[in-house]
């Protein structure tokens, strides 16, 4: 698309035209999941109707055709994040499973009792609990990097002070799902690598919003989900550098991931199939590929400019409301600085976030309330939860105006 035609884009998402409680739907819960364009839904329906067959295992025509689509999706993902090889692209059920895969396989093969993994204070539970489970099983230690009062990580130069000779991995969110903070993962990777430590990046909230280049970032692992970037649910990606994936043992056992099985021993398939036990969701991988095509057609430069303008506008308008408290950085990213991207979390006075969200819903406005699967972050902020508005490529300033008017109306009720 040569220009950002928001109305044309919105026509690709029929659900945006529906009403809720007799009000036009204003969908601002995109950090939880995005809506799906027709081209994704049509492609998946077409595959079920015309190409449905299990992949990799059949010699017949349908199986070969389905396999071609599945592996073409892997190549599409490789290009999307600029991985070196398709062997470095492992399909998972989502970011959560991708992180659990690394936590399980890495700790099993690379860590001993007393060894440390470092996360941050702003992590999603997926990047906390996965490691805590390993702590219970193997006696590893989970440490966390603190954040500042405005929701940023401590200075990158200070991160080195948290590293010890027992530190084996750093795992960090690229973008906070609560604060919208964009972390400088490239600098974190440089510091970690200077100490011989690999880095896992949770890209669930970055992959939908701006260009990710895993080679330029030089991260060792990168995880993201399809459903947060206009693709289907139940599909995600773990990128891992080939040398690391070769070192790690399989996460699950079953069909597809084996080379040879005898009663005495099993040998495993080559990458990436070693980590893909069982029948993959090959229709969802095709849907993910179509979602990437949709994003590519619009272009990340245009998407990022649009969403950052929405984020700036939302913060400006919310700050005109009495009692408004916005969490996280006060600026959006630009060419020279990192800031907040596509997420605005807030509370108003003494109004409980659940009350605010429930009443906004009656006005047709869909926002998220609660701890957003980040309870340690809520503890750091001294609150039980927030209201969260999160944006996608199809949202408009008019919808933000509706949100602001809705908040004012609810605030008057209290």
> Contact at 8 Å (CB) between 183 and 170?
no
- Catalytic residue ranges: 373
Question: For the CA atoms of 289, 295, 296, 301, what is the dihedral angle to 10 degrees?
Answer: -150
Strands 167-173 and 116-120: parallel
Give strand pairing partners of 239: 89, 222
Compute the distance between CA of residue 42 and CA of residue 306 in angstroms, rounded to an integer.
Answer: 26
Among positive and negative, which fits the CA dihedral 5, 7, 8, 10?
A: positive
Question: Residue 79 corresponds to which tokens in the numbers above?
Answer: 């290009």
Burial (Cβ within 10 Å: 0-12, 13-18, ≥19) of residue 264: exposed
By CB neighbour count within 10 A (0-12 exposed, 13-18 middle, 19+ buried), where does 165 fall? exposed
Burial classification of residue 216, based on how many CB atoms lie within 10 Å of its CB (0-12 exposed, 13-18 middle, 19 or more buried): exposed
Three-state DSSP state, 147: strand
């Amino acid at each position: 698309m040569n220009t950002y035609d928001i109305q044309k884009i919105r026509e690709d998402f029929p659900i945006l035209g529906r009403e809720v409680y007799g009000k036009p739907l204003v969908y601002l819960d995109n950090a939880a999941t995005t809506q799906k364009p027709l081209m994704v839904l049509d492609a998946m329906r077409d595959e079920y109707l015309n190409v449905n067959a299990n992949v990799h295992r059949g010699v017949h025509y349908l199986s070969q055709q389905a396999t071609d689509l599945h592996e073409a999706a892997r190549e599409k993902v490789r290009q999307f994040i600029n991985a070196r090889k398709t062997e470095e692209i492992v399909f998972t059920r989502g970011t959560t499973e991708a992180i659990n895969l690394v936590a399980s396989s890495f700790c099993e093969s690379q860590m001993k009792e007393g060894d440390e993994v470092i996360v941050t204070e702003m992590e999603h539970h997926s990047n906390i609990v996965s490691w805590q489970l390993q702590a219970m099983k193997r006696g590893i230690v989970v440490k966390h990097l603190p954040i500042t009062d405005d929701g940023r990580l401590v200075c990158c130069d200070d991160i080195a002070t948290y590293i010890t000779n027992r530190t084996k991995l750093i795992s960090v969110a690229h973008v906070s799902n609560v604060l919208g903070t964009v972390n400088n993962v490239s600098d974190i990777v440089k510091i970690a690598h200077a100490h011989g430590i690999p880095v896992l990046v949770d890209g669930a909230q970055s992959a939908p919003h701006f260009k990710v280049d895993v080679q330029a970032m030089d991260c060792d692992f990168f995880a993201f989900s399809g459903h947060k970037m206009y693709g289907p649910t139940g599909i995600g990606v773990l990128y891992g550098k080939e040398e690391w994936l070769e070192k790690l043992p399989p996460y699950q056992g079953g069909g597809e991931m084996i080379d040879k099985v005898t009663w005495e021993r099993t040998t495993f398939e080559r990458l990436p199939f070693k980590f893909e036990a069982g029948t993959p969701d090959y229709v969802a991988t095709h849907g993910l590929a179509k979602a990437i095509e949709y994003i590519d057609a619009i272009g990340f430069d245009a998407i990022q400019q649009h969403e950052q303008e929405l984020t700036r506008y939302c913060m400006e308008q919310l700050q005109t409301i009495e009692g408004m408290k916005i969490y996280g950085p006060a600026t959006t990213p630009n060419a020279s600085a990192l800031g907040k991207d596509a997420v605005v979390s807030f509370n108003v006075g003494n109004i409980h976030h659940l009350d605010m969200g429930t009443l906004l819903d009656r006005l047709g406005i869909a926002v998220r309330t609660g701890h957003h699967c980040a309870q340690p972050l809520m503890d750091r902020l001294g609150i039980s939860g927030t209201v969260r508005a999160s944006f996608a490529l199809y949202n408009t300033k008019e919808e933000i105006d509706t949100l602001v008017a809705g908040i004012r109306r609810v605030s008057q009720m209290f």
